[in-house]
A and B are shown apart, each in its own frame.
Chain A
Amino acid sequence: MMTNAKKFTNLIKNVGNRLSSKFDFSNPLKNQVRLSKAKDLMMNIVKYIVLYGLAFIIIYPLIQQISVALRHTREINDPSVVWIPKRFSLDNIRLAIAALDYWNALRNTFVISLLATLGQLIACSLAGYAFARLKSRVTNILFIFVILTIIVPASTISLPQFIYFQRIGLLGKAYSIILMSVLGQGIKSGIFIYIFRQFFKGIPLELDEAAEVDGASPFQIYYRIMLPNAKGAIVTVGLFAFVWQWNDGYYASLFLRDTTKVLTTAMYSIQYGVHGHLQSLGLWELIGADVTKNPLFLSMILNTAAILIMSPLLIMYYFVQKLFVEGVERTGIVG
């Protein structure tokens, strides 16, 4: 009995000691450790709230748009429908596809973006290599022009470009945009050259020297050593070039006009004329007057069209995002 009671008191004492050592604020070193731990914990909480909150802000309109696109045309201003439509329908999507001439525009956009991306990759990597490794006074001066192409806005020089294309008969043809990309003057080419230059600079010079000793020409060095080591830059530039070309409405509306329809120009043209478009397609009568009279009907179709333009990019992004994120991290866009 006695021993048990003693054990019990000892136990209490032990626990008490442990607790008091845990809440002992007299030791300044331990206090510091506690303080820094508390700070880190606070930082963590803030971090999670901020990141997940912002991710929500980014994702929210996207989900909302998809929800609108799947809604039945009669449910536009039904306040009881918030996220999940009561009646799913693909009517909106069908109408938007018809109005955009979607499949044709999608094919054009895809081909132009792909060829322009290839052109940009070749021209910009060649230029980047020259600026990084084949330096001379001439290339140093020429690099100022790369910076200038980044700074001068497209609108400043687009009219003479337009007239130039008109003169050589490329206006309205996809070749106009592809030619510009192949010659390193596509969308944001200056930035791509800059990225390639920074990346090539980061590859050890010893590799070049070893190849030179073995008798490799600069072109062989570029092809056999630089490019295989610059996969990150190729992925980054390729993706940016593709995405920016896909989303470009400015050059497309200027140079391609109405003859070669791409997704962005199709979007511009239906923005003010959904009624006319659907009427000329003979779809207007099928929808029903109570729906078409609704002013929100128009914006619903536009919204669905926007989703149709974005979705191929989103799907592609899902498949390449791992490559993309890793590629970017190793690119060394860093100065």
Chain B
Amino acid sequence: MKKLRLLNKHIPFKTKKKILGVVFLLPWLIGILMFFIYPFFATVWYSLNDVKPRSGRLEIKFLGLDNYRYIFEELVVNNKTFIRVMWESLQTLLINLPVILIFSLLIATMLNSKLRGRSLIRMMFFIPVILNSNIIEIVMRGSFNAVFSSSRNGSILDSIRFEEYLIEIGIGQSLISFLLSAVNRILQIINLSGVQILIFLSAIQSIPTQLYEAAEIEGATKYEIFWKITFPLVSPLFLTVIVYTIVDSFIDSPVMQFIDYTRDNLRYYGLSAAISILFFIVNMLLLLIIFLTIRKGVFTYDDKR
């Protein structure tokens, strides 16, 4: 014991701190080894094998890259399911991402400004965060619509009329489909952007009030204040929000359902693992591309601490 204490004294404070850093991380470190790194490499290993469940045990037969070859031949060249599903989820993401980004920033700015009944409105806007649940969404979309479409015209009909109206005005077909997909998704967008609104709101509130006061004395309009102060100071958070949105969209993506389907229903564990590894690589590349393009265009503080 005494020796230990002596040893302790010889270590300089800084290195002691570094060692303690790892000690503080210990629970998380055990967790990540048990529940993240091991499962991840196990999945990589499964993807190189033919894995079948048999009487509670897994039967593993080494295949090499056969699973990946199968995906490439069957799902990419012949059937094109994989490419189509990937492309569709990418498309949804590319439509949703800018909408969510602009929407959540706008709403956050509005929620931050002076408003009658602000606390009530704020409470309502965070309800989707509270109720953001897969199961409730399924029920709302499916059975719940069935209850009302029988007694009343659903919103689908309204958007068809809206479409006719737009065609009469003379707006191009592709633009209409873009607009409509945005309009039809408004509830979905609200549901998806709850956390993003929170992030932007806390960012806006961390902007020093002196800046706004100075701008008001100079006679700037709210419009100008938004573009000259709020927007540039919030822009570093675009990266956080974009990454969060993309990651969030992966979870709901049809590819994910496809992976679960091949695993739970078809019981092709190896194949499902291979698809999920491919999906992960595609996601990483996408995030990397977006990260590198956005990092340059955004105003950043130097985080020295």
- The chain A residues found within 8 Å of chain B, CB to CB, are 32-33, 36, 39-40, 43, 47-48, 50-52, 54-55, 57-59, 61-62, 64-65, 68, 76-79, 122-124, 126-127, 129-131, 134-136, 138-139, 142, 145, 148-161, 163-164, 166, 180, 182-185, 191, 193, 201, 205, 212, 218-219, 222, 240, 243, 246-247, 249-250, 264, 267-268, 271, 295-296, 298-300, 302-303, 305-306, 309-310, 313-314, 317, 321-322, 324-325, 328-335
Contacts A136-B18, A159-B269 aside, 16 further interface pairs with beta carbons under 8 A come to A36-B219, A48-B115, A61-B187, A65-B144, A77-B151, A123-B31, A142-B29, A159-B272, A159-B273, A295-B146, A303-B144, A306-B139, A325-B126, A333-B199, A335-B236, A335-B303
Nearest CB of A to B184, in Å? 13
Residue of B111, B127, B133 most packed against chain A (CB within 10 A): B133
Q: CB-CB contacts of B90-128 with A at 8 A, as 1s and 0s?
A: 000000000000000011001101011001111111111
* Contact (Cβ within 8 A) B144 A159: no
Question: Given the interface contacts A134-B21, A324-B126, does A159 sit within 8 Å of B46 by beta carbon?
Answer: yes
Set of chain A residues within 8 Å of B124, measured between Cβ atoms: 55, 58-59
How many angstroms between the C-alpha atoms of A152 and B244 in the bound complex? 12
- Is B174 on the interface with A (CB-CB < 8 A)? no
Task: Tell me if B143 is interfacial: C-beta within 8 Å of chain A.
Answer: yes
Chain B residues closer than 8 Å to A333, beta-carbon distance: 198-199, 202-203, 240
Contact call B151/A127, Cβ cutoff below 8 A: no
State in angstroms the CA–CA spacing of A47 and B124 once bound together: 16
B30 touches A183 (CB 8 A): yes
A152 contact set on B, CB distance < 8 A: 36, 40, 280
**A299→B250 contact, CB < 8 A:** no
Chain A residues positioned under 8 Å from B24 (CB to CB)? 126-127, 129-130, 134, 218-219, 222
Interface 9-mer from B70-78, B160-168, B256-264: B256-264
The smallest beta-carbon distance between B284 and chain A, in angstroms, is: 7
Which residues in B have their C-beta under 8 angstroms from that of A271? Answer: 138-139
CB contacts (< 8 Å) of A249 on chain B: these are 133-135
Residue B277, interface by CB 8 Å: yes
CB A112 to nearest CB in B, in angstroms, measures 15
Q: Is B297 an interface residue (CB 8 A)?
A: no
Q: Are A299 and B111 in contact (CB under 8 A)?
A: no
Residues of A within 8 A of B280 (CB): 151-153, 156
Q: Which of A52, A222, A299, A335 counts the most chain B CB atoms within 10 A?
A: A335
Verify B146–A296 contact, CB threshold 8 A: yes
Task: Please tell me the number of chain B residues within 8 Å of chain A, measured between CB atoms.
Answer: 102
Shortest CB-to-CB span from B87 to chain A, Å, is 18
Q: Which of A68, A139, A299, A331 contacts B142 (CB 8 A)?
A: A299
**Interface core residue of B17, B21, B32, B144 (most chain A CB under 10 Å):** B21
Question: Residue on A with the closest CB to B198?
Answer: A328
- Residues on A with beta carbons closer than 8 Å to the beta carbon of B32: 145, 149, 183-185
Contact residues of B: prevailing secondary structure = helix
Contact B28 A127 (CB under 8 A): yes
Which residues of B are found within 8 Å of A329, using beta-carbon distances? 201-202, 205
Asked if A309 and B135 sit within 8 Å, CB to CB, the answer is: yes
**In the bound complex, how far is the Cα of B151 from the Cα of A153, in angstroms?**
40
The residue of chain A having its C-beta at the shortest distance from the C-beta of B240 within the complex is A335
Determine the distance from Cα of A35 to Cα of B130 in the docked complex, in whole angstroms: 41
From known contacts A123-B27, A154-B251, A321-B126, infer whether A77 and B150 are also in contact, taking CB-CB under 8 Å.
yes
Cα-based distance from A258 to B270 in the complex (angstroms): 25
B140's partner among A61, A191, A317 (CB-CB below 8 A) is: A61
The residue in chain B whose Cβ has the minimal distance to the Cβ of A217 is: B20
Residue contacts A-B, CB under 8 angstroms, 17 given: A39-B223, A54-B190, A55-B125, A126-B24, A126-B28, A142-B29, A153-B280, A154-B251, A156-B277, A157-B43, A183-B35, A218-B24, A247-B133, A299-B147, A317-B123, A324-B126, A329-B201
Nearest-neighbour CB distance to chain B for A214, whole angstroms, equals: 14
Q: Is the CB–CB distance between A156 and B199 below 8 Å?
A: no
The distance from the CB of A69 to the nearest CB of chain B, in whole angstroms, is: 11
B202 touches A264 (CB 8 A): no
* Residues in B neighbouring A127, C-beta threshold 8 A: 24-25, 27-28
Q: Are B148 and A332 in contact (CB under 8 A)?
A: no
Whether A54 lies near B38 (C-beta < 8 A) is no
B131 close to chain A: CB less than 8 A: yes
A36 to B201, CA, bound (A): 25
In chain A, what residue has the closest Cβ to B51? A159
* Chain B residues, CB < 8 A from A134: 17-18, 20-21, 24
CB of B186 closer than 8 Å to a CB of A: yes
Task: Return chain B residues, CB-CB under 8 Å to A32.
Answer: 219
Contacts of A148 in B (CB 8 A): 36
Residues on A with C-beta less than 8 A from B269 are 159
Q: In chain A, what residue has the closest Cβ to B113?
A: A47
Q: Are B25 and A139 in contact, with the CB atoms below 8 A?
A: yes
Q: How far is the CA of A33 from the CA of B220 in the complex (A)?
A: 10
Contact of B305 among A47, A201, A300 (CB under 8 A): A201
B261-305: contact bitstring with A at CB < 8 Å (1 yes, 0 no)? 001000001001100110110011001000000000000000101
